[in-house]
Amino acid sequence: MENGGNSNESGTKSEILVRRILGTQLARGETLLEGLRFTDPRHGDVETDFLILIPEMGVAVLEVKGGVVSYENGQWLTTNKGTSRRISPIEQARKAKHALRRFLDRSPEWHNGLIRAQWFVVMPFTEVTGDMGAEGAREQLLGASDLDDLLPRIRASLGSTLNNDPLPSADDLDLALTLLLRTQHASLPSGSGSVGSKMKRKNWALISVGAAVIAALAVIGFVTQNSPSSSSTQCNPNYEPCIPIAPDLSCSDIQMKVQVIGDDPYGLDRDGDGFGCEIYE
């Protein structure tokens, strides 16, 4: 296994590099999840290297491959230290994308159909110069020369008009993230998931906006949990702690857990338990 040099970071050398790069390029309101594993009714256990939730664009599903990757005679290979082995990056990435979409579509609280998503293969030590096979379109293959604008390239592909799925709002992705994290924690004690409804952690699992950083990883560019200042903001009396009065707010706007002490004009408490935006606790 390809290992990284920092004992505080888990994963292969390529995964650690991609994680660091994504952390510096994330924009406000975007969320990075790592190492989720779904039990899918069609494909069985499916692992994801990274998911990126991007409001008004969709979800990027990233499969990371280290070594020098090549495509020859219909076969993908990765070569590291003189040793080559076969890999199936597009198949893995595609399965992860469809497993994510089915997971949300089968969740009782999700009523938005199949979420807009696209798969990508990231090869940080490979120069990608064009398409790689009939299924390997250049815009979905990200190589060493693409790392400086990795997320801008992903955003451009997700926002393409060739994708006819509706653009998910910030509220849609807040709900998707809530469902992903809730099921993540619920499945941990048993260590396994029922078909189509649970996922579990692979080693250390996730990095999320406003949550405690896993594996002591400080990710630059993540939205912080700073709450609006009550000294400079008129507070909405329906929530604690203070959040401002506005025509509309979503969880991605306020970035903290709140208690509903009156009505819920912003619709933050989706499950009716008296608390909103639990993903940021």
Output the pLDDT for position 120. Answer: 97
Output the pLDDT for position 43. Answer: 73
Specify the DSSP element, H or E, that contains 37: strand 36-40
Rg (CA), the chain: 20
Are 51 and 207 a contacting pair, CB within 8 Å?
no
Output the pLDDT for position 211. Answer: 31
Output the pLDDT for position 2. Answer: 58
**In whole angstroms, how far apart are CA 18 and each of 22, 59, 92, 141, 252?**
6, 17, 17, 14, 24
Output the pLDDT for position 209. Answer: 35
Q: Euclidean distance between the first and final Cα of the chain, in Å?
A: 34
With CA atoms as reference, report the closest residue to 90 among 76, 69, 101, 80.
Answer: 76
Q: Residue-wise pLDDT tens for the chain (281 aa)?
A: 455 444 456 678 999 999 999 989 998 888 898 888 887 778 778 889 999 999 999 999 999 999 999 999 899 999 988 899 999 999 999 999 999 999 999 999 999 999 999 999 999 999 999 999 999 999 999 999 999 999 999 999 998 877 788 999 999 998 998 888 775 543 332 222 222 333 333 333 333 333 322 222 222 222 222 233 333 347 888 888 888 887 777 887 777 888 888 888 888 888 778 888 877 76
**In whole angstroms, how far apart are CA 247 and each of 188, 244, 262?**
39, 10, 17
Phi, psi of 92, rounded to the nearest 5 degrees? -65, -45
